[in-house]
Amino acid sequence: MEKWPVGVFASIDAGLGVKLDVARELGVPTVHLHTPHKPSRTEAKAREFSAKLKEFGLRISVVFAGFEGESYADIPTVAKTVGLVPPQTREARKQELKEIADFAKLLGVDAVGLHVGFIPHDPANPSYPDLLAVVREVCDHCRGNGQRIHLETGQETADALLQFLHDVDRDNLFVNFDPANMILYGSGEPLPALRKVGAYVRSVHCKDAKWAARPGEEWGTEVPFGTGDVNAEQFLRTLVEIGYDGPLTIEREIPQEPHRQKAEIGQAVRVIEELKRKILG
């Protein structure tokens, strides 16, 4: 397979990614698909989506889970609402995540990505063992489907993420590395973090950001790939170092401005193609 096929984050009826017809117009071969809403997760819809993807020449490399009630408004709101960490929704979301994995299987996709949420940093927190048990159960469900789970980076430092992966102790648990999230959340310099978790990286987001004045307390600012503090060329060179040759999936979360979003993703495609020529020769 081609090394580093370009991709975009896309969605059908839910989530922030570009629509599938925009992905087609961008001419990229792969997408990360935000899971469609629950009523669309049926066999008939899976056949319909698969036919459309085939017609558009698109392959889904990862299906990303998302849940009702999640909000990325600010960092404390993420901690309260996102992923499997909030205790009041943990059980229901665990069930839904299994359903999303089953839907991904209907689409023929062998990886499910998600933001697990702000993992408690103190393993003595009573929530920690319960969270481990939930993630193990979902990993085991996915194993039955022949699937991996990819944890999106951002809320944790690389060391905390490594600890969590170690503690879950499942061999189908991996990482979707998003360098911009490290900056947005203020959880560490992205490239040293990428080297640390490199052995677990099975998918990536090409997203860029600028550091906040008070990292970790307030959001950094998301900017088009190649124009922020990630350093796009060094990011790709670090992917060579860790031996990553999977898709380079562009993420640009400004769905309220679809024209600008498409233009900036198109620009990111050109940045990546140029860097691929430079780095891979």
Residues that bind Mg ion (CB under 5 A): 178, 205, 251
DSSP helix/strand/coil, 141: helix
In angstroms, what is the minimal distance from the CB of 225 to Mg ion?
A: 11
- Looking at the Cβ atoms of 15 and 86, the one nearer to Mg ion is 15
In angstroms, what is the minimal distance from the CB of 268 to Mg ion?
A: 13
Greatest pairwise CA separation for the chain in angstroms: 51
Find, among 170, 131, 163, the residue nearest to 147 by Cα: 170
> What is d(CA 81, CA 69) in angstroms, rounded to the nearest whole number?
7
- Looking at the Cβ atoms of 88 and 256, the one nearer to Mg ion is 256
Q: 190, 153 in Cβ contact below 8 A?
A: no
In angstroms, what is the minimal distance from the CB of 184 to Mg ion?
A: 9
Find, among 26, 1, 3, the residue nearest to 275 by Cα: 3
In angstroms, what is the minimal distance from the CB of 236 to Mg ion?
A: 16
DSSP helix/strand/coil, 31: strand
- Looking at the Cβ atoms of 42 and 71, the one nearer to Mg ion is 71
In angstroms, what is the minimal distance from the CB of 113 to Mg ion?
A: 8
Distance, C-alpha 178 to centroid of its chain: 7
Tokens of 180: 């911009």
> What is d(CA 135, CA 26) in angstroms, rounded to the nearest whole number?
35
- Looking at the Cβ atoms of 90 and 205, the one nearer to Mg ion is 205
- Looking at the Cβ atoms of 12 and 46, the one nearer to Mg ion is 12
